[in-house]
Amino acid sequence: MQPVTRFAPSPTGRLHLGHAYSALLAHDFARARDGAFLLRIEDIDPGRARAEHVDAIFGDLIWLGLEWDGEVTYQSERLPLYADALERLRAAGLVYPCFCTRADIAASASAPHGPGGAVYPGTCRGLAGPDLSLPHAWRLDMAAALASVATPLAWIGNGVEVIAEPAAFGDVVLARKDAPASYHLAVTVDDAAQGVTDIVRGRDLFAATHVHRLLQALLGLPVPVYHHHALLTDAQGRRLAKRHGAPAIADLRTGGADPAELVASLRRGELPTGYSLGDA
Ligand code: GLU
């Protein structure tokens, strides 16, 4: 079977070298195996996604010489798919509406922390007669979800079997008050719908795979193979981020960098001065 990989940026800022590295690895994985490399714009966060960043992503990838196959997909155009998935989980009694604000959750003395941040204390679980005309999110009932699938759930990550342990995430949000799907739901549904066989992405998204694997089991979706790569860090050893002043690809371009040289050196594992690779 020919592999299908994807680069799935959120258009909430300009791409930096870490994104370029990730896109390059996903691109090369597919190209080396005569597979397909897809581009999916993850633009369902209404507060943060911007059209100007989408155009900049295209420009950066073209400048780097990373051509994608087929039409670009936009999560904002696929909302009915996520609604269907949510409806299936709702019909199975595995999600519940949650009316809490961030402040309510933060104020909960018992809110422990899990791999994805504060674990929801379960305030709205089992509410009798919730008023769905009020703004609400939908949360996965983690205990019920785990009880409904055959465990252990596993995936192949970087060549070894990993057992999924999503319980520590608690009742994750699958649809937000302000967005009809969360990252976890949209990414899982899309990777399956687009036939992605191999997910090449940064190590920062390794933990989320525990939740994605559970959603795949609940929705009866195929399980791709995962390849989580090391993250680029700056001279201070920090993960590249706009807030730490990581230069954008656009800055490298206007600074006169040669994209062919840049990509060739990234392929050799050589990074520009001041950058290094963290742990895989
Ligand atoms: N959209 C996510 C991000 O930009 C990446 C999603 C993924 O690769 O699973 O961080």
Decide whether any atom of ligand 1 lies within 6 Å of the 18 Cβ: no
Q: For a pocket test of ligand 1, which of 6, 61, 201 has the largest count of ligand atoms closer than 8 A to its C-beta? A: 201
Look at residue 165 and give its three-state secondary structure.
coil
Decide whether any atom of ligand 1 lies within 6 Å of the 124 Cβ: no
Decide whether any atom of ligand 1 lies within 6 Å of the 228 Cβ: no
Q: Which atom of ligand 1 is nearest to the CA of 187?
A: 9
What's the pLDDT at 110? 66
What's the pLDDT at 109? 60
Distances (CA, A) of 62 to 20, 182, 250: 11, 29, 12
CA 9 to ligand 1 centroid distance, Å: 5
Identify each DSSP E strand in the chain by its residue range: 4-7, 36-41, 73-74, 95-98, 113-114, 117-118, 137-140, 154-157, 160-163, 173-175, 198-202, 225-229, 232-233, 276-277
What whole-number distance in Å separates Cα of residue 279 and Cα of residue 246?
19
Question: Do residues 4 and 38 touch, judged by C-beta distance below 8 A?
Answer: yes
Residues 6+ apart with CB under 8 A from 193: 78, 81
At 232-250, the pLDDT tens digits run: 888 888 888 777 777 899 9
What's the pLDDT at 120? 93
- pLDDT category of residue 188 using cuts at 50, 70 and 90: very high
Question: Do residues 196 and 265 touch, judged by C-beta distance below 8 A?
Answer: no
At 126-181, the pLDDT tens digits run: 999 999 999 999 999 999 999 999 999 999 999 999 999 999 999 999 999 988 89
Three-state secondary structure of 88-156 = HHHHCCCEEEECCCHHHHHHCCCCCEECCEECCCCCCCCCCCCCCCCCCEEEECHHHHHHCCCCCCEEE
CA 10 to ligand 1 centroid distance, Å: 6
What's the pLDDT at 159? 97
What's the pLDDT at 111? 64
Q: Please give the share of the chain, as a percent, with pLDDT higher than 70.
A: 99
The DSSP element (H or E) to which 215 belongs, if any, is helix 208-219
CA 41 to ligand 1 centroid distance, Å: 9
Average pLDDT value for residue range 195-205: 97
Place of tokens 């996604």: 49
CA 166 to ligand 1 centroid distance, Å: 18
Return the ∠ at Cα 45 (arms to 155 and 124), rounded to 5°.
75
At residue 58, does pLDDT exceed 90? yes
Q: Which atom of ligand 1 is nearest to the CA of 202?
A: 8
Average pLDDT value for residue range 173-194: 96
Decide whether any atom of ligand 1 lies within 6 Å of the 42 Cβ: yes
Q: Which atom of ligand 1 is nearest to the CA of 42?
A: 1
What's the pLDDT at 169? 96
Residue nearest ligand 1's atom 6 by CA? 8
